[in-house]
Amino acid sequence: MHAYVYKSLRKADTYVYLAEREAFDAMPVPVRESLGGLEFVLEVELTPERRLARADVTQVREALAARGFFLQVPPPPDAAAYDASEFYRSRDA
């Protein structure tokens, strides 16, 4: 599955994965407006084996298939050492 990744120019460390390039209409208007401008940063193939730094690839793929977008927001401030892979491993145990 292909994804197109954009960063928010208004919200630091916030990224949008889109199933189709520049398909911003997939996002609800309030979400689009809150992000401000979006800048293209990456085109990526999301295979089940792929690892992402702050998101679970399965959840991203499911969101893209169901909604056409996935919103990646930064971890809470008290989670300085946040590691998404640890979270998903412990949740599945």
Q: How far apart are CA 63 and CA 79, in angstroms?
A: 24
pTM score above 0.95: no
DSSP string, 9-46: SSSTT-EEEESSTT-GGGS-HHHHHHH-SEEEEEEEE-
Identify the structural domains of the chain with CATH numbers, from first to last: 2-92 (3.10.510.20)
Chunked in runs of 10, what are the mean pLDDT values of the chain (93 residues)? 95 95 95 95 94 92 96 78 52 47
